[in-house]
Amino acid sequence: MEKGRASMDVSELMDVNERVAVIIGSTRPSRICPGIAQWFQDVAQEHSPLRYELVDLAEVNLPFLDEPLMAALGQYEHEHTRAWSRMVSSYGGFVFVFPQYNWGYPAPLKNALDFLYAEWSGKPASYVTYGTRGGNRGARQIREVLAGLDMRELDDHLEVVIRLDDVDEDWQLKDLGSTLRPYVEQARTIDVQMVDALKRAP
């Protein structure tokens, strides 16, 4: 058997309820979101029986919502929607990572959520927000949307405070590990809650 094919088979054979998508919810060129998402993946994965995988919305590259029918009908006209549906369906749980923009969360993330409905429904979710005050208002907004999608929000989420002296002149984190160190135990708690939620998944 070819090495590449063997690797693919392992992924295909994994139970959906063992896979958690860590969704990078910012697509702007100067974003720090991928580093924060990678940090969460590493911390959550360290002692977890689950498999945390990064999903970058910049790479998914969905257009602005262009389906003629409401997502709840599941009648998709476009292949990019069907591909997104297959990807989302392959995960049992989700952690959304995003910055707070003007008291909300990024439009590409809302757009990605709105493309689908049943694929999200009933699945456990948490989120990692970040901003100068931790992103609590963005968290408040996505909480309502997750409820509208009938997702099961975990008890814990992260609100990462990033101060001006944490970033350099290019608005990149000077020391990601140091900035995020206070949130390690809470990230591990999210994993524990995700494991429990997926054990109870239908």
| Predicted pLDDT of residue 200 | 86
Supply the pLDDT for residue 1: 32
Residue showing tokens 């860590």 = 22
Tens digit of each residue's pLDDT (9 = 90 or more) over 79-100 = 999 999 999 999 999 999 999 9
Measure CA 145 to chain center: 14
pLDDT at 9: 39
- Considering the chain, what percentage of its residues have pLDDT values greater than 70? 93
- Sole residue written with tokens 């456990």: 124
- Sorted by sequence, the CB contacts under 8 Å of residue 120 that are 6+ apart come out as 88, 94, 113, 146, 149, 150, 151
Distances (CA, A) of 89 to 21, 56, 86, 119, 120: 10, 16, 5, 5, 8
| Domains with residue ranges and CATH for the chain | 22-199 (3.40.50.360)
Residue 181 phi, psi (nearest 5): -55, -40
* Contact predicate 37/22, CB 8 Å: yes
Give tens-digit pLDDT for 176-200. Answer: 999 999 999 999 999 999 999 999 8
Q: How many Å apart are CA 199 and CA 202, to the nearest integer?
A: 9
